């Protein structure tokens, strides 16, 4: 159960400086489309009235709204800002960097912004990474490109050395653009900052192409990834329909959550099967996946299978997991296993087959953001700047229930967002594909 203490946002101190945006805020008021800084956003808008009757509204769990404040903590003319991108690539990273720099410079008047190269290692002297001076001129057109102009890496570095670098450069605000591992690293940086009695704000812009960060509507880059994934599903469908016994097999991103597999399937509606980490499946037996696929190929002459990369890991016996630099368990290749097993099963059943395997994951991660994600990234960047200039720290900015809000980092990494096997998204997938509720 989420309580008030879980939603409390840390601040560095009272805001005593008039914001450069104050004049723009004078006429704002609470409406259906707008909230002001003193408003609160209900954490859960599905609570039944029977469950809250007699409870004052102010006692219901609620979030602090994002957006500009009338008064801010940092003096823009004396503020130095750092930006770092961490983890795997994701469409929209450059858009966020650009949005941060333009908002800081043009609207707040911040004069010095530096980018740290190649993730957290950019803070560590041992690696010899230079910082990058960021200005409106430098970032003006970077949103046309995929990837990140700052580079990225996986794995946490020593938070003591990171804070040493922040002190050497007199950084007042650090923006961390990254996923759950990067956010946990940012929390360690905040811990060291606190132990040293420093006044440095650390604000996160959550990044995960898999859409597995909890308590937010959607992560940036997801819409682009889903759109790009549909192209591979369509190609697999064309290949499958163009050969006797054609089977198109597409492996998509989704280590723990099958959102990309689900939504791209619904968008294209060419798939016969979707396999995701949240729904275990049996491979063998009369009611297993392979036998059902055989019948589908014999009946219709072709089939298309979409599998998330984290699905079916229990079937990969020869794989020794280990962990990557970010601490993530290394996954076995479910796509290659399915390609082999499908071919063997159809061969054993004397069913002519032509299996075509697609793995577009890295191609999808590296593309520029589409217009929807570009706009979303810009709004996230604005919200992050407003939060940081107002002295908020150890917080991420996100959109929840269509409102931009501040979420404490500890809550953002407390669990993962998953496709609910009993929810309406998975039901839509079952309806679109016609596959059984379970393979067992």
DSSP 54-89: T--GGGS-EEEE-S--SEESS-GGG-EEEEEE-SS-
Distance, CA of 343 to CA of 353 (rounded, Å): 7
Rg (CA), the chain: 24
Q: Is the pLDDT assigned to residue 423 strictly greater than 80?
A: yes
pLDDT band, very low/low/confident/very high, at 7 (cuts 50, 70, 90):
confident
pLDDT at residue number 165: 98
Q: What is the mean pLDDT of residues 210-223?
A: 93
Which stretch of DSSP H or E encloses residue 403? Answer: strand 403-408
Return the active site residues: 210
Distance, CA of 193 to CA of 168 (rounded, Å): 13
Distance, CA of 426 to CA of 201 (rounded, Å): 40
Distance, CA of 347 to CA of 78 (rounded, Å): 71
CA distance readout (Å), 439 to 280, 312, 353: 8, 12, 22
Domain ranges of the chain: 4-217+369-400, 222-366+421-433
3-state secondary structure of 22: helix
Let me know: does 85 contact 93? Beta carbons within 8 Å: yes
pLDDT averaged over every residue in the chain: 93
Terminal-residue alpha carbon distance, the chain? 34
Token pair, residue 204, equals: 């996160």
CA distance readout (Å), 309 to 201, 256, 312, 324, 361: 36, 8, 8, 15, 9
Q: What is the mean pLDDT of residues 15-36?
A: 85
Distance, CA of 326 to CA of 310 (rounded, Å): 16
pLDDT in tens, 104-117: 999 999 999 999 99
Which stretch of DSSP H or E encloses residue 206? Answer: strand 201-206
Could you give the dihedral angle defined by the CA atoms of residues 417, 421, 423 and 427, in that order, rounded to the nearest 10 degrees? 130
Distance, CA of 312 to CA of 309 (rounded, Å): 8
pLDDT at residue number 104: 98
pLDDT at residue number 50: 47
Let me know: does 257 contact 416? Beta carbons within 8 Å: yes
* Residue positions forming the annotated binding site for ATP: 88, 154-155, 179-182
Distance, CA of 394 to CA of 183 (rounded, Å): 9
Could you give the dihedral angle defined by the CA atoms of residues 213, 394, 71 and 78, in that order, rounded to the nearest 10 degrees? -120
Distance from chain centroid for Cα 307: 19
CA distance readout (Å), 351 to 74, 136, 296, 298: 70, 61, 11, 7
Q: pLDDT above 70 covers what percent of the chain?
A: 94
pLDDT at residue number 260: 97
Let me know: does 115 contact 171? Beta carbons within 8 Å: no
Q: pLDDT above 90 covers what percent of the chain?
A: 83
Fold match flag (4-217+369-400 vs 222-366+421-433):
yes
Q: Is the pLDDT assigned to residue 439 strictly greater than 70?
A: yes
pLDDT at residue number 44: 77
Token look-up 């589409």 returns 370
Could you write out the DSSP letters of every residue in 80-114? EEEEEE-SS--TTHHHHHHHHHHIIIIII---EEE
**How many other C-beta atoms can be found within 10 angstroms of the C-beta atom of residue 104?**
27
Let me know: does 246 contact 301? Beta carbons within 8 Å: yes
* Residue positions forming the annotated binding site for substrate: 208-210, 253-255, 309, 362-365
CATH class for the region spanning 4-217+369-400: alpha beta
pLDDT band, very low/low/confident/very high, at 250 (cuts 50, 70, 90):
very high
Q: What is the mean pLDDT of residues 19-33?
A: 84
* Residue positions forming the annotated binding site for Mg(2+): 180
pLDDT in tens, 308-339: 999 999 999 865 566 555 566 779 999 999 99
Q: What is the mean pLDDT of residues 156-174?
A: 97
pLDDT at residue number 52: 53
**5-9, 230-234, 319-323, 406-410 — which is least confidently predicted?**
319-323
Token pair, residue 341, equals: 């097993």
* Residue positions forming the annotated binding site: 88, 154-155, 179-182, 208-210, 253-255, 309, 362-365
- CATH assignment, 222-366+421-433: 3.40.50.460
Identify the sign of the CA torsion 401, 404, 406, 409: positive
Let me know: does 12 contact 414? Beta carbons within 8 Å: no
Burial of 22 (0-12, 13-18, 19+ CB in 10 A): middle
pLDDT in tens, 55-101: 566 678 888 999 999 999 999 999 999 999 999 999 999 999 999 99
């Amino acid at each position: 159960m989420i309580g008030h203490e879980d939603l409390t946002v840390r601040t560095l101190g009272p805001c005593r400086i008039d914001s450069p945006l104050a004049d723009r805020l004078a006429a704002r008021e609470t409406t259906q489309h707008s909230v002001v800084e003193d408003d609160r956003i209900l954490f859960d808008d599905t609570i039944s009235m029977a469950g809250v009757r007699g409870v004052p509204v102010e006692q219901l769990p609620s979030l602090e709204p994002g957006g500009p404040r009338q008064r801010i903590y940092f003096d823009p003319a004396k503020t130095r800002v750092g930006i770092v991108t961490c983890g795997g690539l994701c469409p929209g990273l450059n858009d966020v960097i650009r949005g941060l720099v333009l908002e800081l410079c043009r609207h707040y008047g911040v004069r010095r912004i530096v980018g740290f190269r190649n993730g957290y290692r950019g803070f560590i002297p041992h690696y010899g990474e230079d910082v990058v001076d960021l200005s409106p001129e430098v970032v003006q057109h970077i949103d046309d490109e995929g990837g990140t102009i700052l580079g990225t890496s996986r794995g946490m570095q020593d938070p003591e050395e990171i804070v040493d670098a922040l002190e050497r450069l007199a950084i007042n605000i650090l923006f961390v653009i990254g996923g759950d591992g990067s956010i946990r690293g940012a929390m360690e940086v905040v811990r060291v900052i606190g132990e040293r009695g420093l006044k440095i704000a650390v604000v996160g812009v959550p990044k995960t192409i898999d859409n597995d960060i909890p308590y937010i509507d959607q992560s940036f880059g997801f819409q682009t990834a889903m759109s790009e994934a549909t192209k591979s599903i369509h190609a697999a469908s064309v290949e499958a329909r163009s050969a006797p016994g054609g089977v198109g097999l597409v492996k998509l991103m989704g280590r723990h959550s099958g959102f990309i597999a689900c939504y791209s399937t619904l968008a294209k509606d060419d798939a016969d099967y979707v396999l995701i980490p949240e729904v275990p499946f049996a491979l063998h037996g009369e009611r297993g996946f392979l036998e059902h696929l055989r019948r589908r190929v014999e009946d219709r002459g072709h089939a298309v299978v979409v599998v998330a990369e984290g699905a079916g890991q229990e079937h990969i016996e020869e794989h020794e997991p280990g962990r990557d630099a970010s601490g993530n368990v290394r996954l076995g290749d479910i796509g290659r296993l399915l390609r082999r097993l499908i071919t063997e099963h159809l061969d054993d059943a004397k069913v002519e087959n032509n299996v075509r395997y697609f793995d577009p994951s890295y191609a999808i991660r590296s593309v520029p953001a589409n217009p929807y994600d570009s706009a979303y990234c810009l709004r996230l960047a604005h919200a992050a700047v407003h939060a940081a200039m107002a002295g908020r720290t150890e917080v991420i900015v996100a959109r929840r229930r269509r409102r931009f809000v501040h979420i404490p980092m500890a809550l953002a990494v407390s669990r993962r967002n998953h496709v609910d096997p009993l929810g309406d998204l998975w039901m839509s997938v079952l309806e679109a594909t016609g596959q059984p509720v379970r393979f067992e």
